Amino acid sequence: MKNARYDVLALGNAIVDVIARAEEDFLVAHELTKGAMMLIDEPRAETLYAAMGPAKVISGGSAANTIAGLASFGGKGAFIGKVKQDELGKLYRHDLTSQGVSFDTAFAAEGPATARSFIFVTPDGERTMNTYLGACQGLTVADVDKATVQNADIIYLEGYLWDPPAAKEAFRKASEFAHAAGGRVAITLSDSFCVDRYRDEFLGLIRNRLVDIVFANEHELKSLYQTGDFDSALSALRAENIIAAVTRSEKGALAVTPDGIVAEPVFPVERIVDSTGAGDLFAAGFLFGLTSGREVRDSLRLGALAAAEIISHVGARPDVNLKVLASDNGLL
């Protein structure tokens, strides 16, 4: 394994998604902020689960979804994240490794259960996430295998890692290892409320060049620069002088590079069934494009295609082989 090369190594919270449909008034009754990810403790998890309708259980976690997508495109991916050795933890490991992703982080032998996110999907396809971090809180620097990090062209880290206390150190250590070996470091800002919680630290990562590539959606970018105006946020991002990919829901996505801005529209979908994972799978396509030497525009297209696939069904892991899908659409 030590000699394996990876296109991307992802480091993130390893979370099982528990997904059910819900009406808008359910969100109101349970004081849920539509479209956001909220952290919940165990009693709250029990309350929400008891109120939740019949659910589908599908492995998730933002960076893990991205690396699963990259593998589905044919990229070589690895993952670092923490699950407990319980039934859901074993399901989680199965789903990632059977997708072709290397995932060697040791199981947590004790402590809280494998993390789960209770996701409510409203009739418009929007998802509202409530995450019990559980075993993710056991991810530490000890889980960051130096050789694995240094064998990756890009390491991809989620902003959500700032939530479990020990994980940000793992993030920093991974970034350090990667740069020492000439690799690049990417971060996704994860969620506008997550940016609210850690704005200064995220800006510090960018300005101190601990990260080289930034993924964000429109809301996260506005939150990062504390502006309600997208163009102002975009200008601020350009001034950072790094590579960035910004998703704008139905308005498509754009890439910011030192050479300028490239925009691409979305791929049409018949109906948005469940938007869970849209950003994660966009990142998968974009990263696959970058690491396979494609142009920025083509990388954006691959991202848009993967996002379109994921919002067409329930769950945030691809239902089809993305390499075949991309080939069928003339992108590979």
Q: Which residues bind a copy of itself (CB under 8 A)?
A: 18, 21, 49-50, 52-59, 68, 86-88, 91, 94-96, 98-99, 113, 313-315, 317, 319-320
Q: How many residues does the chain have?
A: 332
Q: Are 116 and 16 in contact (CB under 8 A)?
A: yes
Q: Taking CA 66 as the corner, what is the angle to CA 105 and CA 316, rounded to the nearest 5 degrees?
A: 105
Nearer CB in complex with a copy of itself: 63/96: 96
Name the nearest CA neighbour of 282 among 237, 217, 226: 217
Min dist CB 166 to a copy of itself, Å, is: 25
Using the minimum distance from each CB to a copy of itself, give the nearer residue, 119 or 144.
119
CB of 123 to a copy of itself, least distance (A): 10
Place of tokens 């892991």: 317
CA angle 83, 84, 87 (to 5 degrees): 105
> Residue 45 or residue 174: which is nearer to a copy of itself going by CB?
45
Name the residue nearer to a copy of itself (CB basis): 56 or 238. 56
Least distance from C-beta 214 to a copy of itself, angstroms? 28
Q: How far is the CB of 283 from a copy of itself (least distance, A)?
A: 18
The angle subtended at Cα 75 by Cα 262 and Cα 311, nearest 5°, is 65
Residue 308 belongs to what H/E stretch?
helix 296-310
Question: CA separation (Å) from 81 to 25, 158, 326?
Answer: 35, 11, 28
CB 15 within 8 A of CB 116: yes
Q: How far is the CB of 318 from a copy of itself (least distance, A)?
A: 8
Which residue's CB is nearer to a copy of itself, number 92 or number 198?
92
